[in-house]
Structure 1
Amino acid sequence: MTSTPHPRAAIILAAGQGTRMKSPLPKVLHPVGGRAMLDHAIDAAEALGCERIVVVVGAHSPEVRDHVVKRLGEDAIAVQDPPLGTGHAVRAAEAVLGEFVGQVVITYGDVPLLTAADIEPVFAAHDGVTVIGFEAADPGAYGRLVMDGDQLAAITEAKEASPEVLALTACNSGVMAAPVGLLFDLLREVRNDNAKGEYYLTDVVELARKRGAPTRAVFAPEDAVMGVNAQSELAVAETLFQRAKREALMAAGVTMPAPDTVHFAFDTEVGGGTTIEPYVVFGPGAKIASGARIRAFSHVEGATVAAGAEVGPYARLRPGADLGEKVKVGNFVEVKNVRMAAGAKANHLAYLGDGDVGARANIGAGTIFCNYDGFFKHRTTVGEGAFVGSNSSLVAPVTIGAGAMVGSGSVITKDVDPGDLALGRGEQSAKPGWAARFMDAMRAKKAAKK
């Protein structure tokens, strides 16, 4: 969190109905980069050093309230009920801010790409109202920023604008900052004598100018201030997020032969010198060290991969997977909550869940850590240098000692001492001629039915 000489607070508006999303999930909880849009807004406020963060929610969205309480606590909640416009929503936060003295920035829970760096310039002045604008490629229905030199003269809605104002490309993002006392004084003067009967936050600019208070605009990239109101816009935001993440990682030395096919989460960490092949998906919590290789069609979430390790193709690392240096997890191997020490291998078709695999141990194809008994999870330990033969089932809790071997096709239910060979399968027997006699009898039976 940034340390600032002047106290800061953030009011995040998240009370919208989000009906255009056509989803049972509240709009602001839809994810971008594997993280709820609202959390992106909270992240930005925290990075700005805001000592108070208030999220304005609607009475219609208990899920949003619960989400905020879980992250920030009950004292971060303000409720707008009924919804009567953006100005009314901001006023709902006044009592929650209480005795706070300092600057307040107003942001939105459905603007996921706006970062602390984009917002920071609004705090440069401490005596007036500052808004964030953007140069729109297609201004359309956006409110226009009418400038008077370096001062913001007005925010004019498109439907009320003259042809001259409509020709402007400087548009209003809706993000605004002001000293807390000035902000709420001005909001108390806002009226709702408009077609919608709502209290508009944008009216604050005109009221501030009438008082002689400075009104300014700073500018951010259009992509950074895009709002999400429909599923199509959510997809655009995801595309923009992924593009920025890929570019940042490639600039840091990550090799991606087909970057457009790789999907990252908001917190994915990848060291320079790593290679990520096509069609890899990272869920939240993935940390990949320099020099690793993530091969095609793998899924990595909540996992740590050390230098020189190789994952995939077609591998799945779930939360708690922790791969040491030069570990190999191959095709169709799933690892969950297992630490694999340096040089360990599971090359094919295995499930490793809840356990530890020692250095240089080898897990054969088709091996399963049977970690769940229908009620509880149990751990499997495979010692250093152990060899587990193909198609083995290790029924947890169980330990395979260092240097031990498990014969292929075994079901192991008891600990195996270091250096021992364990066989847990029925003894093979043969019945001479049985197969030939059986086949002859079945062919005759089939012929009789024709």
Structure 2
Amino acid sequence: MQNEPLAFRMRPRNITEIIGQQHIIGEHTTLYKMIQNGHVPSMLLYGEPGIGKTSIAYAIAGSSKLPFFALNATHAGKKDVEQIVTEARISGKVLLFLDEIHRFNKLQQDTLLPHVENGSIVLIGATTENPFHDVNPAIRSRCGEILQLKRHEQKDIVQLITVALQDKERGLGKYTIKISDSQIERIALASNGDARKALTLLESIYYASDEVEGETIVVDSTIEHLSNRIGVYGDKGGSHFYNLLSALQKSVRGSDTNAALYYLAHLLENGDLIAVCRRLLVMAYEDIGLANPSVGAHVYAACESAKVLGLPEARIPLANAVIEMCLSPKSNSAYSALDAAINAIHEGKTGDIPSHLKDAHYAGAKTLGHVGYKYPHDYPIGTFGGWVDQQYLPDNVNLEFYKPVIAGEEKKMAAIYDKLKTFKK
């Protein structure tokens, strides 16, 4: 057992040993009470790596009297599933933990689903991806609960580390280790809410530390060196990555410069520069828009510079772009207006293009009535250029899509827009 990683050895053996995730399986929860009373429902556990999905599944198995099986959907075959189905027929009911359940293929589902539905197989599925996006609806419908796990709080990680240091059977308790409370706090902080990383880091620190007269001495420099990238979770292209992109955009939209830089840093540490640049460009036009039209060009230049420079230097122009967007006036009026026009079309609010707007650059256009267009440049209006009152929308589409936001540069555009409306008959 000592050859197994510390994180594996310290998995809770039953639900009373679970540390953290009290909102899901604390003593006050219905799930805890059901399991204690002998009933285990099928469920989906959703969350980032290292926050307890597998541990909870094994703890539930340890608290139940059901035969327990564990599969990983990335490499489990039809025969694996058939063996569990056979065992379910013999035993009457079994508990199956299926990791990476979002990778479950149709053949596996067809074999397993009827038995989950009739209750002979209790299914606990675990996924790092959003189950509403990536888990087959047939699976979701047969799982009574979809439980979203959270990153562990620092106090939970401290408790977990302390238990591992004290446990003489499974942990490091049989060794004499000199480690301070502040050093335990530093390890907990570095793990960034990931229990597996915390225990892996603790184990690495133990083996990297010097032994003096039978006592292992933990020093700060060892913790610092091994903690360098412990907080980075690289699931490029997964749900967490898209959550980071979403958090970045919403922080910029909310003008929170520090939060935006935090999420940008996390995204760049994950290494997908192209996805980050793509999102920054969207933000420049979606959230800054007409309030500061020059931002679009600035962000584009920053993104192109970043692609040429590559990481880590790419972070420099991107930091400039993010801060400028955070502190810029903001408007979503342009794309909101276009979306309103698109919705109007989908709702059937369409009509024939006015004849004077139709193409007249061919012989016979007059015969079709494509006449009467007034060329605005022939009608100067102050310093604006040219404008003439004529119909542009179809007869039965008398709608106003654009609603100016009175912010930044759009103030001037809004004033012109309102003034032109007063000229119309």
| TM-score, normalisation: structure 1 | 0.23
Query: In proportion to residue count, which structure has more helix?
Result: 2
> Could you state the TM-score of these two structures normalised by the residue count of structure 2?
0.24
Pick the structure with more strand per residue: 1
